Amino acid sequence: MKLIAIDLDGTLLNTDSVISPENRAALKRADEAGILVAICTGRATFDVKALLEGLDIPIIAANGGTVHDKGYRLVSRMLMDQQAGKDIAAYLTAKEIYFEVYTDDHLLSPYDGETKLQAELDILKSANPNEDFQTLWQGAKTQFKQFGIKPVQDIQAVFNGDEHIYKLLCFSFDMEKLKNAKEEIKHHHKLSQTSSGKHIIEILPADSGKGRALTELASLYGIEKQDIYAIGDSPNDLSMFAAAGNRIAMGNAIDELKEQSTYITKSNDENGVAYFIHQLLENQI
C-alpha cells in the first residue's frame, strides 16, 4: 500500500487558497486506486475539514499537533507545554508581534491584529516604495480568512484555562522582529519552530512536526518508508520529506526542498498535485 501525504498552502491549494477541480478529482482517483491519501498541513484540523468539503481522508494538522484517521477519528494529539506557551505569548505581545493560538475549536487572534499588521505594512511602504504591497497584504489576508478564526480581547488568557493548545503562528512584515523572535524561541527547550513563509514563524511543542506524525500514520497502516510520497513547498515540509522515501517538490517550492526531492512537479497554480498523481498512477514515475 502506498501513502501520499500532501501539504495544503502552496501545494494542494492554489494562490486563491482553493482546491481546484483537477486536484480534487486526482485525490479521488488515487483513493479509488487503493492509495492512502492524507493531508499534512500547518492548518488547524477544522479548517482542513472545511476545505475538503466532505472528502474523507486522514488529516495531519497543526504541523503534527493532531492526527485524524478517516471518519475524523482522532489517532493522537501533541499539546504545547502550557507555561512555555504562556511565556512566549507574553514575549510576542510585548514586542507587538501578531500571533494566533491553535486550539481544538478556534484560531484565536488579537482583536486588533489586522490593524497592527496594516500599520507595519505602511511603515514598510515608506522605506521600500518599490515592493509589491498588494501581494504582501494578500499573504496577511489569508490568515484572517481561515475557517474558525476568532478575534479576542486578551489572547494570553487562553493559557490560564484548560484549552488544548497545539501551536502558535506569528506573522509580521518587520523582519527584525521575526529575527529576534526566532532567537527568543531557541531559549525555550520545550518549544520548536518552523516556517511556511517568509513572514511566518510557527511555534510548536519540541517533539512535534509533520515528519513524526506522518511516520505515526504510516505505522498505523503498516506502510513502509519507501512507500510514502510526501508533497510540499515550504520549510515546514522538511520533516515530512525526512519521513518519506519519495519526496515531491512543487514547482514553486523553496530551493532546499527541490534539492532534497526525488521528483519535481508543476506549481500549485498548474495543478502540480494532480499532475504528480496522474504520473504515478500511469507508472510514469
Identical topology for domains 3-77+208-281 and 82-205: no
Alpha-carbon gap, residue 137 to 145, rounded angstroms: 12
| Residue 125 confidence (pLDDT) | 72
Alpha-carbon gap, residue 237 to 63, rounded angstroms: 9
DSSP three-state, residue 285: coil
| Residue 254 confidence (pLDDT) | 96
Instruction: Give the residue-averaged pLDDT of 186-194.
Output: 95
pLDDT per residue as tens digits for the range 81-127 = 999 999 999 999 999 999 999 999 999 998 888 888 888 888 877 76
Q: Is pTM, for the whole model, over 0.85? A: yes
Locate the domains of the chain by residue range: 3-77+208-281, 82-205
Establish whether 7 is a catalytic residue.
Answer: yes
pLDDT category at 136 given cuts 50, 70, 90 is confident
Q: How far is CA 241 from CA 217, 231, 247, in A?
A: 14, 8, 6
144: its cell numbers:
484572517
118: its cell numbers:
496594516
Instruction: Give the residue-averaged pLDDT of 227-244.
Output: 97
CATH superfamily of the domain spanning 3-77+208-281: HAD superfamily/HAD-like (3.40.50.1000)
- Choice among 7, 9, 174, 237 that is catalytic: 7
pLDDT per residue as tens digits for the range 58-90 = 999 999 999 999 999 999 999 999 999 999 999
Given strand 167-171, what is the order of strands in its sheet?
Answer: 149-152, 107-110, 98-102, 167-171, 200-205, 191-194
- For the beta carbon of residue 53, count every other beta carbon within 10 angstroms: 8
Question: How confident is the prediction for the chain on average, in pLDDT?
Answer: 93
Does the 82-205 domain belong in CATH 3.30.1330.40?
Answer: no
